[in-house]
Structure 1
Amino acid sequence: MEPVLITSCVTAFFLYFNTLDAEFAYDDSRAIKTNPDVLPTTPLSQLLWDDFWGTPLTHSGSHKSYRPLTVLSFRLNYMVSEFNPRSYHVTNVALHVAATGLFAVLARALTPHARLARTAAPLLFAAHPIHTEAVAGVVGRADVGAAIFFLGALLSYMRYCGCGRGSAALGGRVGRHVWLGAALVSATLSMLTKEHGITALAVCAAYHVFVHAKLRPKEVFSILSERRHRGVVEGLSALGASLVVLLACRLVIMGSQPPEFAPADNPAADCDSPAVRALTFFFLPAFNAWLLLCPNTLSFDWSMEAIPLVTSLGDPRNLASAALYAVIGLLGLTALLSLRRRRLVDDSGNGETSTTGDVTVMGLAILILPFLPATNLFFYVGFVVAERILYIPSMGACLLVAWGAHLLYARARTLRARRCIQVALVILFVLFAARTWRRNRDWETEENLYRSGIAINPPKAYGNLANILSSQGKKEEAEWAYKKALSYRSNMADVHYNLGILFQEQKRHEEALQEYKLAIQFRPRMAMAHLNMGLVLGLLGQKAEAAEVYRHCSQLDGSGLKDPRTHESTKISALFNLGRLYADDGHFERAIDVYQEAVDKMPPYYQPQSLYNMLGEAFFKLERFEEAEKFYLEALKVKADHVPAHLTYGKLFSPQQRISEAEEWFRRAKALAPNDSTVHQHFGQFLSEVERHEDAADHYVRAAQLAPSEYEIIFNAANTLRQAGRNKQAEEYYRLAVHLRPQEATSHMNLGAMLHVNGKLLEAESSYLEALRLKPDDSITRTNLQKLRHLLAKKGISPSR
């Protein structure tokens, strides 16, 4: 094996070794953790009909990103480690090593006698910082995988061309067509890994016409008329037919509908001015070219205003656009002039069989053709700049840079000049490697990644950073970051929604309500904002308004949305909460109607166990026990370990005097969730109802230990301890209840009664008096106080007041 192949592969592995323990980042969670197609419970055939994010391609909200092989690879990773990121990162690094090795083989095939070029090209590719997003970010696997099949297609097609049509041997003819078939299959696999992989067919065509057949542009039109070009016709016909078939299949599968994107994803596409659109789209390839040449400033996201629109001819960025197209034109002209001479020189200056034109043509073809789908030339795309899409084009850039260095080296007249060229390449490689290694640290955690993007895209970076800080419990910092994001871009519905969630968690309900209203103002069909707004209104006691919001949420149109699954599931959740709102008010018939509506409308992917369980609860309250049992069993059928269904099913048997069956279901719930306070609370309630007070007290105490801040559990634990005769413990828990709700008269009254029983008479009097201060007309407390003072008088103790 050639040393440069080993060296470039080792370099590719070593530079990304520090990403193996990185977290999932940015789009990884949506493409993997919330994508149902990654789970083994989803039929494999579904991968053929869903997009990269798990949304049906025919849905109006689909991005039409058809990458079933990439999703299949995620599914295989899930079988190995479920959602542990390590196996996903190991796979990405391994694929990058494989892509680097294949590129080294290609560079060797294109520049067989130019040692400097075939060494520099794969090493620069292995170390290029622009690849960090594709390798360190798991979602970038689509680009790396597509590159592997892309190179496989090109190398196979080169072998096909090299076999020659003149071979009389059957094996030669068969072998030639095997290589052609391998090229077509590889191009298909590349497209199924990521869409732009189909451009491998165009690059193969460029190789056949200009490199292998050595045709000049004016000779291309003679292909069909001259017999000597039959081999070219055969190859191009196969490539063309494959292109037509693949594009036709792609259009059929995606429903012949273009994708829809938010204006922030691609602001130029949403601009009304054709001139602004044109100038901006002309500039974006120049910006991408600069990232390839000088990848110092990188970002996880370039949307919104990260790259301002080019609004006039006077914008200096137009010079960059002009420079790019001038360089491409110059390189193209160089290639055309070189196609006739086809002369190369090697490191020692001797003439060789290859030509500058061949390498220039292939470098330009690999650089430009795979990038064309991202230029907005054929259709609008959902991004401004995406670093990972430069993975394949960077091969062309590395090839051209390495070849240019080789030409300078070959024409240098002194040893010092040659050494300078070599040193320059080494310095470039070291700079690339150092930047890659440093950039990998940004991708180790989401927090690092978003902090690194603040200078480029502050609203998006601050908004995402706030989510991370909130999940880490750093609520004050998260609030600051959300508000910072909104200071740059006030109409970010997601940020308003997430800030509302933060306020809701902190019980700042009025502020949460305001943020949800703003989220809905900027995105009227945002179902999650409606759902949470309904929850907050319910907590504020505005039940009529909450019911209205839930009903409106359940009727929201989901067409054209990015995540239709979540949207449709949220609509069912809105009906679920509406039904629960009615049930809490004792309107069980209305609750049943709403729950049934939710069952009728729920999509196949909705998990209905909680819905079935609440239906059973409503029937139970109406003492329609057979129907209640039916839905409890439905809930358990959907999810056999659904703890709430175990609890409600156990409660069903108690009024029917099926005590042993009830206890068995409570014990099953306890086995499933031994540290769930709710389980112990319900088990304790059941035991108390059957007058097993000692056992009931044990379960309530355990529930209180698991949920020490839950007033209802603490208060009920105290009551049950009192019933069990464990008065000292009961006193302790009544004190805890008073501490949790000092304004609750019932807590003070019961504490007073317990202190009264325990002989702490003056303390009892104090508790009774506090209860009467909070609830002056409570007759039970007044009676207890009178009895206490009568006892104090008998004992000769003066009342405290």
Structure 2
Amino acid sequence: CKVVGCVKLSSGADHTDLGDRAIKTNQDLLPETPWMNILYNDFWGTLLTHSGSHKSFRPLCTLSFRFNYALGGLEPWGYHLLNVGLHCCVTSLFTTLCRPLFGSGPWSLLAGLLFASHPVHTEAVAGLVGRADVGAGLCFLLSLLCYTRHCRLRPGAGRSHRAKWRAWAWLAGSLVAAAAAMLWKEQGVTVLAVSAVYDVCVVHRMRLQQVLLLFFKRNVGLLVSLAWLAGWGMVLLAARLYWMGNKPPNFSNSDNPAADSSHFLTRTLTFLYLPAVNAWLLLCPHTLSFDWSMEAIPLLRTVCDQRNFCSVVFYTVFVLLAWFGLRSKDSTTFHKTNAKSHVTNGKILTNGHSLHHLDSNHHHDSSHHHNGFTPVEFPENTQNGYSRHVPTSTHASLPSKENMVVFSLGLLALPFLPATNMFFYVGFVVAERVLYIPSMGFCLLVVLGLRTLCVRARQRSSRTLLLGCTAGLLLLYSLRTVHRNQDWQNEDSLYRSGITVNPAKAWGNLGNVLKNQGKMLEAEEAYRNALYYRGNMADMLYNLGLLLQENDRFSEALHYYKLAIGSRPTLASAYLNTGIILVSQGSVDEAKHTFQTCADIPDENLKDPHAHKSSVTSCLYNLGKLLHEQGQQEEALSMYKEAVKKMPHQFAPQSLYNMMGEAYMRLNKLEEAGYWYRESLKAKPDHVPAHLTYGKLLSIMGQTADAEQYFLKAIDLEPTRGNCYMHYGQFLLEQSRLSEAAEMAEKAADLDSSEFDVVFSAAHMLRQASLNDAAEKYYRRAADLRPNYAAALMNLGAILHLNRKLQEAEVHYLHALQLKPDDLITQSNLHKLWNIMHKQGLRSTGS
């Protein structure tokens, strides 16, 4: 109940951290994507062997996301519910693991409650991409529990084949679960090392000297088990390295600034300091953040940095604890007796009663026992002044506190080793979710310390005080977890909570949230705040440019797009939008150069190659459109074909295919045009432009009945789009169905009354249908939409000319000639108009 109470808010959260790349845009989650793709792509959907891949091979986590997607799409409730359920299972297994360590009394329960309520777990449970850590933790504990079972059965394996089979079956289960843990997340493989520590320190209760002499003692069962653990670990690591292409991942400077530093001292001091920061997060999780990258933790550049003292303290405490556990000779062994904890070295019992010492004949050296659970005989136990014999069978020896310290440190440190940058650089500075498994070791240390204090406490008041402190710690952790869950309720509160830790990243992400909420002014302010803290963030420069572009502030947007390109020359989306703005401003040649530059950018070492390829494909598409509009159809086709070659799987190709059809149609290659129109409709059956262009092609080819069906289908798909009626009206006009054509023309112009092309075409059609009065109405509207467009003024003059409004026609002819003085048609029409006016005795303004 405790764990559910602490994280119940998570299941009601919105799409917070739904993981845009891991879930929202990950093609591996889609039902049409082959299941096998999960085995070749990383956690984010990028091919593992790609140079830009993070090499995060977590197929079981991706599979769980696909399961959620199959059940409820992108509805976040199901994802959060599964995360909470996994955390409950992990908590239950951890409590089960604690029972042979602390007994079945309150100490195991306390360890489970500490783990369930620890605030540092919030990111792993409430943040959906943290499921990798929770799932790895589940298989991690399953593997460790299987190994503990193997250790219990191993001493009796020689008695019968069945006993031997059972013991080694549990070992096999442990190895399989370890592989599963690694397939959830990379650090899961460290359970093999933790199992080895458990076997040596908890089961066999060895000290450092005994470990060093292990190979000379001929403990065959232990050596065989350790050999299996080591061998399987090497197999898993070798397979993992091979599967990701035998290359380490590449990360940006902002992901791990210390790794990018050229100074050895800076890297060393910073990497030594980061474990101390993580230890403090476990001990005092007051300051938590969704992101610790960039300058959230400034680099340690000199030995004079005061933070080095924290590193010294941390490593000193860690080494002293390890030395205490490995070098201590006089072991304090705890025993469980009817759920009570007792000590065999003459110290006070936890229930306040004394315990008689064992006779020297009853002492056993722990190194002589195979399974580490030493049978101990108590001659008598004194309770309330009476002496009674306690049967041996009711007692089971618990590990000594020294052994427990070593095991707890191993459980704390070994799963954290991959995050230390010791073996390879990682893509983060600090990540709270990475502490999910190591926190188990921390909880064991805390409970072990509390139990030791409780045993040493001689007075009831001291124990009461200790109990109160323990309850207070649980309460504080629980309240902090509830408060932190409220931060994770939505993206707005999450990013605001991180402003104090990582202002650049927090303000930038908050800007995205505010923009999606339609709060443009607040979003712009957030983006500018982010750039104030870190002015070279290409993503923020691009996002600000995008916001300005959407608000028609094109010059400012262009400025920020160019800054984004300067900061990151491979940002293809910035090139794409720069080119689009340049086209709208009439700078066609510069736009073509921009599109071509983008098309030549390779996708090597890019974080999101799919998004990059989509932008490159769009640039080629837009470049092709420019060439198409300039009449360069062969060059346009070349760009379109290159776009088809480079487009990623998730790119929607219907517009590209449709434009290829139009280019072939302009080249009078009708069969090729028909093929690409059909491909466009195959890619998106409700793509209206393809219905219209294919209908036009069929009309040219004489298949008028089929053509009309495509026009009608387009109207049915978008009945409020005037362009559909305009194309259908043109078709009817060609079929000499003039009244129907006129009706379609007027409907098109009324629906798209602000679209010049539609209104202008409608006026043409009405004029061709000899409906001059109606044509005049729409020519006037077209001239109002583009008052400085010579063709619109000339055509308005012509219809007024036909409608005998001669003086008004003259005004528009003259205005058209001012804009385009060399237009021969306008000159000819004007002279004809003057002749008529002269014959009618009307006064003209020209000669």
Q: Which amino acid aligns with 2:77?
A: R
CA offsets per residue over residues 97-119 of structure 1, 9 Å max, x none? 1111111211223211551x212
CA offsets per residue over residues 580-618 of structure 1, 9 Å max, x none? 110011111221222233334445665443322211110
Please list, as runs of the form range in 1=range in 2, the aligned pairs for 1:552-571 lying within 5 A after superposition: 552-571=597-616
Preserved CA contact (<8 Å) 1:727 1:754: yes
User: What is the alpha-carbon distance in structure 1 between the residues aligned to residue 492 and residue 813 of structure 2?
Assistant: 50
User: What is the alpha-carbon distance in structure 2 between the residues aligned to residue 169 and residue 424 of structure 1?
Assistant: 51
Alignment TM-score, normalising by the size of structure 1: 0.89
Q: Which amino acid aligns with 1:415?
A: R
User: What is the alpha-carbon distance in structure 2 between the residues aligned to residue 47 and residue 586 of structure 1?
Assistant: 45
Please list, as runs of the form range in 1=range in 2, the aligned pairs for 1:258-657 lying within 5 A after superposition: 258-336=248-326, 340-344=330-334, 345=341, 347-348=350-351, 353-354=397-398, 355-602=400-647, 606-657=651-702
2:140 corresponds in structure 1 to: 150
2:51 corresponds in structure 1 to: 60
The alpha carbon displacement at 1:169 in A equals 3.1
User: What is the alpha-carbon distance in structure 2 between the residues aligned to residue 28 and residue 339 of structure 1?
Assistant: 51
Q: Which amino acid aligns with 1:392?
A: I
2:30 corresponds in structure 1 to: 39
- Deviating more after overlay: 391-400 vs 380-389: 391-400
- Deviating more after overlay: 24-33 vs 340-349: 340-349
CA offsets per residue over residues 120-151 of structure 1, 9 Å max, x none? 22112112111111111111110000000001
User: What is the alpha-carbon distance in structure 2 between the residues aligned to residue 729 and residue 293 of structure 1?
Assistant: 81
Q: Which amino acid aligns with 1:189?
A: A
Change beyond 3 A, Cα 1:784–1:769: farther
Gaps of 5+ in 1: 1-9
- Alignment of 1:194 with 2:185, yes or no, is yes
1:93 corresponds in structure 2 to: 84
Preserved CA contact (<8 Å) 1:572 1:602: yes
The alpha carbon displacement at 1:30 in A equals 0.9
The alpha carbon displacement at 1:157 in A equals 0.5
1:221 corresponds in structure 2 to: 212
Gaps of 5+ in 2: 335-340, 343-349, 356-395
Change beyond 3 A, Cα 1:607–1:747: closer
- Alignment of 1:139 with 2:142, yes or no, is no
Q: Which amino acid aligns with 1:102?
A: L
CA offsets per residue over residues 488-531 of structure 1, 9 Å max, x none? 11111111122222222233332222222211111112222222
User: What is the alpha-carbon distance in structure 2 between the residues aligned to residue 486 and residue 769 of structure 1?
Assistant: 54
- Deviating more after overlay: 128-137 vs 525-534: 525-534
Q: Which amino acid aligns with 1:566?
A: A
User: What is the alpha-carbon distance in structure 2 between the residues aligned to residue 423 and residue 736 of structure 1?
Assistant: 82
User: What is the alpha-carbon distance in structure 2 between the residues aligned to residue 531 and residue 767 of structure 1?
Assistant: 44
Preserved CA contact (<8 Å) 1:24 1:138: no
- Deviating more after overlay: 65-74 vs 127-136: 127-136
The alpha carbon displacement at 1:716 in A equals 4.4
User: What is the alpha-carbon distance in structure 1 between the residues aligned to residue 813 and residue 457 of structure 2?
Assistant: 98
- Deviating more after overlay: 765-774 vs 272-281: 765-774
User: What is the alpha-carbon distance in structure 2 between the residues aligned to residue 410 and residue 671 of structure 1?
Assistant: 82
CA offsets per residue over residues 418-476 of structure 1, 9 Å max, x none? 22222222222222222222222222222222222222111111222222222232222
The alpha carbon displacement at 1:193 in A equals 0.4
User: What is the alpha-carbon distance in structure 2 between the residues aligned to residue 677 and residue 449 of structure 1?
Assistant: 44
The alpha carbon displacement at 1:780 in A equals 9.7
Q: Which amino acid aligns with 1:61?
A: G
Change beyond 3 A, Cα 1:727–1:316: farther
The alpha carbon displacement at 1:359 in A equals 2.6
User: What is the alpha-carbon distance in structure 2 between the residues aligned to residue 473 and residue 690 of structure 1?
Assistant: 48
CA offsets per residue over residues 408-427 of structure 1, 9 Å max, x none? 22322333322222222222
User: What is the alpha-carbon distance in structure 2 between the residues aligned to residue 149 and residue 626 of structure 1?
Assistant: 58
CA offsets per residue over residues 196-237 of structure 1, 9 Å max, x none? 00001010000001100111111123333323x111112101
Preserved CA contact (<8 Å) 1:296 1:435: yes
User: What is the alpha-carbon distance in structure 1 between the residues aligned to residue 680 and residue 663 of structure 2?
Assistant: 14
The SS at the match of 1:312 is coil
Change beyond 3 A, Cα 1:340–1:72: farther
Change beyond 3 A, Cα 1:98–1:529: same
- Alignment of 1:171 with 2:173, yes or no, is no
Change beyond 3 A, Cα 1:173–1:767: farther
The SS at the match of 1:224 is helix
User: What is the alpha-carbon distance in structure 1 between the residues aligned to residue 781 and residue 95 of structure 2?
Assistant: 72
User: What is the alpha-carbon distance in structure 1 between the residues aligned to residue 454 and residue 674 of structure 2?
Assistant: 84
Structure with larger Rg: 2
2:113 corresponds in structure 1 to: 123
Please list, as runs of the form range in 1=range in 2, the aligned pairs for 1:227-242 lying within 5 A after superposition: 227=218, 229-242=219-232
Please list, as runs of the form range in 1=range in 2, the aligned pairs for 1:688-707 lying within 5 A after superposition: 688-692=733-737, 695=740
User: What is the alpha-carbon distance in structure 1 between the residues aligned to residue 472 and residue 331 of structure 2?
Assistant: 33
Change beyond 3 A, Cα 1:674–1:186: farther
The SS at the match of 1:255 is coil
The SS at the match of 2:216 is coil
CA offsets per residue over residues 145-172 of structure 1, 9 Å max, x none? 0000001011111011011232423332
CA offsets per residue over residues 540-571 of structure 1, 9 Å max, x none? 22222222222221111221111122223332
- Deviating more after overlay: 193-202 vs 467-476: 467-476
Q: Which amino acid aligns with 1:348?
A: N
% identity of equivalent residues: 47
The alpha carbon displacement at 1:730 in A equals 7.7
User: What is the alpha-carbon distance in structure 2 between the residues aligned to residue 339 and residue 771 of structure 1?
Assistant: 110
User: What is the alpha-carbon distance in structure 2 between the residues aligned to residue 406 and residue 727 of structure 1?
Assistant: 99
CA offsets per residue over residues 81-109 of structure 1, 9 Å max, x none? 12222221111111111111111211223
- Deviating more after overlay: 258-267 vs 83-92: 83-92
Preserved CA contact (<8 Å) 1:748 1:767: no
Preserved CA contact (<8 Å) 2:18 2:24: no
User: What is the alpha-carbon distance in structure 1 between the residues aligned to residue 414 and residue 631 of structure 2?
Assistant: 66
2:197 corresponds in structure 1 to: 206
Change beyond 3 A, Cα 1:665–1:306: same
The alpha carbon displacement at 1:689 in A equals 4.3
Preserved CA contact (<8 Å) 2:53 2:605: yes
Q: Which amino acid aligns with 1:331?
A: L
- CA RMSD after TM alignment: 3.3
